[in-house]
Amino acid sequence: MKYISMSIYPIILSTLSPLTANQFRPKLCIDCKFYTKDFLTFSEFGKCSLFPKEEDNSYFLVNGNNNYNKIEYHHCATARKIDHMCGKEGKFYEKNE
């Protein structure tokens, strides 16, 4: 009986290990559908399209030109540091399919 239980134990562990590996895998921004590459295409400088920066139209009052047609986004590192955005746990993470 002792030998049977010892032979079944590795089988049970092998079936559980993929579940626990996926369960504890961190939510990486590079795998998220909101991740966009920056012009440098380095993953460290990727941006999150879920969190646009607020536009600063202060130059409009100086020269009358509205040059803010392009939307800027926060870097992923910023979004993961700030708790009301994604935070460390990746609250708004959605898997890229």
pTM of the model: 0.59
Are the beta carbons of 36 and 73 closer than 8 angstroms?
A: yes
Measured CA to CA, the distance from residue 20 to residue 62 in angstroms comes to: 58
Q: Please write the tens of the pLDDT for every residue from 40-95.
A: 656 678 899 998 887 666 666 666 666 656 678 899 999 999 999 999 999 999 99
Residue 76: is it exposed, middle or buried by C-beta count within 10 angstroms (0-12/13-18/19+)? buried
